[in-house]
Amino acid sequence: MDSTLQHNEDTQANRLIKFGMRMGVSAALHPFEYAKVLIQIGYEPIAPQPGKTFLGRPAMILPNIFQYVKHIKKVDGLAGCYRGLTPKLVGSVIGVIGSKRVAEKFGLDDNDDNESKDDSELTEEESYERFLKSLKRDLILHASGIIITHPFQVISIRMMAQFVGRETIYKSIWSSIKEIFGQEGLFGFFSGLIPKLICDLTCIALTSTTCYLVNKYYISDQGNRTYFAGFIQFVYASVLYPIQVVSTCMVVTGSRLQAGSPPHMPVYKNWSDCLTHLKSTNQHKRGSSLFWRYYHPQIRTDSFVPYPKLSKY
């Protein structure tokens, strides 16, 4: 009994340490996420410069992520690079607590006999059951975490989007809550939630299923399985990236911010309308590359050349 209690305490301590490290890394990298959010909503404050691609072709080069962060620091100072960090960290803490409660309520712990066994010790049926249970746990916990933290994500993104129009509407978490609830009601806190859920949960489902099938028939070494899981997750995340851009845009569109209003951004009816528009203007992958960024002129689908006026002879 004492050894089991000690093991549980050590496990809990390790989880707290890992969570603290994740929070620290998230805080340290926030300026880069800040710049990426501004890129995703289509804000380019620095004009592209002539250059060349890897193949030597002439192209207009946009500033990379480091130059973008440098521009933010030049405008707002070092402290300004961390705008939106507080609600993000608060949301992370609340999300972990909420996900833990969900896990306890639905009995989604990973303490059963099959979990402690090596894959080679499992029958084909036991291996399949482990896969289904793990996938179910990951989907439920991730979905609950997204839903719980999304209101804080909305506040964080809108705080960052104020850089475009230099507003001060979203000053703190409390003032942001009053602004969103007063202007948009309860649903305003969940702007962009549907594409966020679709993107993340689809990526988890595809990655888990692919890893299960490939590991079952082709990969037996645990180290190679880890590398493959990271690689295939990157592939699926890249494919689904346009939906992530849509989620960020839907958080901002229709708000009182200049970043979410014409001419900076159309007021989208829904997330599918946003995705259709971004694809039609070749802007659905903006922010996917943070180091080698090339300028692609927007394709205007709503413009037309008027008919010439005919004069009488």
Quick one: fold of 28-294?
A: Mitochondrial carrier fold (1.50.40)
Predicted local distance difference test score (pLDDT) of residue 302: 47
231 alpha-carbon distance from chain centroid: 18
Q: On the CB side of 157, how many CA atoms lie within 13 Å of its CA?
A: 32
Which tokens go with 206?
A: 């595809």
Taking the model in full, what pTM does it have? 0.86
Please report where in the chains the tokens 């413009």 appear, as a residue: 303
Tell me how far apart the alpha carbons of residues 251 and 248 are, in angstroms, rounded to a whole number. Answer: 5
Predicted local distance difference test score (pLDDT) of residue 312: 39
Tell me how far apart the alpha carbons of residues 4 and 101 are, in angstroms, rounded to a whole number. Answer: 22
Query: Following DSSP, what letter does each residue of 76-130 receive, concatenated?
Result: HHHHHTTTTHHHHHHHHHHHHHHHHHHHHHHT----SHHHHS-GGGS-HHHHHHH
List, for residues 47-98, the tens digit of each pLDDT value: 888 887 777 788 888 999 999 999 999 999 999 999 999 999 999 999 989 9
Residue 207 pLDDT greater than 80, yes or no? yes
Residue 119 pLDDT greater than 70, yes or no? no
Tell me how far apart the alpha carbons of residues 69 and 245 are, in angstroms, rounded to a whole number. Answer: 19
Domain residue spans of the chain: 28-294
Which tokens go with 196?
A: 């966020």
Tell me how far apart the alpha carbons of residues 271 and 250 are, in angstroms, rounded to a whole number. Answer: 7
Which tokens go with 190?
A: 């969940």
Which tokens go with 48?
A: 């592209």
